[in-house]
């Protein structure tokens, strides 16, 4: 096929990266970033990829493995915002869960600050989830006035502060007390920060409590568990969430409106039913099953409702009156 010349930014970003091996995936990201912004290796386990377009900058933190299985074609999360919102994006990527605790990453942000990189943008939003949420909060100090959206972030893994978190003991020798260290303190210069978490995930909730600050708003996502990013993507509310944060329109009320999408989201409904069954709450489980089966074709909820009503007929449980029983 004859070469048609350089590809446009849109053409490049629309390519699926799904199924590529890690090395090939990195080379593809590097090629696109070099053509439309910059690519910077940060030691052996990290790199930064900047794609320039608009005067709003979305700074994302991701693991390479997580980005490779992104349901939107195995692409970095920020690329869709370039295409759909016309934003610029700077993606920071880690080989594994490193919490981005690496002097090469510190040096990269130091150079961006010295070059006045963040000052070239009207708005800057930092985003990440879990270990990457920690990093998004911690490095947001590089861009005073930024907006920050983080999902179930850790505040620190310094055992002197969070010895109660036994999930990441392999990181306890890693310093969280030097530069860009304690994430909640790094938010002091942010315009606003938003922390999303499931309060029933005890350790996530304990970390969220450490983020209590005047400029931090917390949103509870009960019955979702510990993989909030995937849930937000499947409910198609991650993009609206970040857009509202960028425009300072994200409030408790607006989040509640977005969060209503959970009423039709199978993952949330299954988790809620499982919690009710585990805690032996047949009355509430029946109410949930009747609501879901009245709106959706979900065989699992129909089977569970049939089992509950059979148990009621046998005198084993008490359920709420059926709607048709109260009509007459």
Domain extent listing, the chain:
9-262, 266-327
CA–CA separation, 204 and 215 (whole Å): 20
Query: Could you report the average pLDDT of every consecutive run of 10 residues in the chain (328 residues)?
Result: 60 89 95 96 97 97 94 91 95 97 98 97 98 98 98 97 96 95 97 98 98 98 96 97 98 98 97 97 97 95 97 95 67
Coil, strand or helix: which one is 60? strand
Are 116 and 161 in contact by the 8 Å Cβ rule? The answer is no
Q: What is the pTM of this model?
A: 0.93
User: Tokens in use for 207?
Assistant: 């970390």
Are 81 and 58 in contact by the 8 Å Cβ rule? The answer is yes
Q: What is the pLDDT of residue 3?
A: 42
Q: What is the rounded (10 degree) CA torsion for 90, 96, 97, 100?
A: -40
User: Tokens in use for 268?
Assistant: 């949330």
User: Tokens in use for 14?
Assistant: 């629309």
Q: Which helix (H) or strand (E) holds 151?
A: strand 147-151
Q: What is the pLDDT of residue 6?
A: 59
Q: What is the pLDDT of residue 4?
A: 43
What is the third-level CATH fold of 9-262? Rossmann fold (3.40.50)
């Amino acid at each position: 096929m004859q070469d048609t010349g350089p590809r446009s930014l849109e053409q490049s970003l629309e390519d699926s990266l799904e199924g590529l091996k890690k090395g090939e995936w990195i080379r593809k990201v590097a090629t696109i970033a070099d053509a439309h912004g910059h690519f910077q290796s940060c030691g052996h386990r990290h790199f930064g990829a900047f794609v320039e377009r608009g005067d709003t900058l979305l700074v994302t933190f991701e693991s390479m493995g997580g980005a490779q299985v992104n349901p939107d074609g195995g692409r970095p999360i920020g690329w869709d915002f370039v295409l759909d919102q016309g934003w610029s994006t700077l993606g920071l990527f880690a080989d594994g869960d490193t919490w981005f605790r690496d002097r090469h990453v510190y040096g990269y942000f130091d150079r961006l600050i010295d070059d006045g990189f963040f000052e070239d943008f009207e708005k800057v939003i930092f985003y990440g989830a879990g270990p990457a949420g920690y990093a998004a909060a911690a490095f947001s100090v590089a861009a005073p006035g930024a907006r920050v959206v983080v999902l179930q972030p850790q505040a620190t893994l310094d055992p002197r502060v969070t010895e109660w978190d036994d999930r990441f003991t392999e990181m306890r020798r890693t310093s969280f007390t030097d530069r860009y260290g304690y994430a909640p303190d790094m938010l002091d210069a942010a315009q606003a920060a938003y922390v999303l978490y499931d309060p029933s995930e005890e350790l996530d909730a304990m970390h969220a409590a450490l983020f209590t600050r005047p400029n931090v708003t917390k949103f509870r996502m009960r019955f979702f568990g510990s993989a909030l990013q995937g849930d937000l993507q499947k409910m198609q509310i991650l993009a609206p969430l970040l857009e509202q944060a960028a425009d300072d329109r994200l409030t408790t009320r607006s989040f509640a409106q977005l969060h209503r999408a959970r009423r039709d989201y199978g993952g949330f409904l299954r988790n809620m039913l499982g919690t009710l069954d585990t805690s032996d709450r047949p009355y509430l489980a029946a109410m949930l099953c009747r609501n879901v089966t009245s709106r959706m074709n979900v065989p699992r909820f129909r089977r569970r409702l049939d089992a509950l009503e059979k148990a009621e007929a046998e005198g084993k449980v008490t359920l709420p009156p059926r709607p048709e029983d109260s009509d007459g």
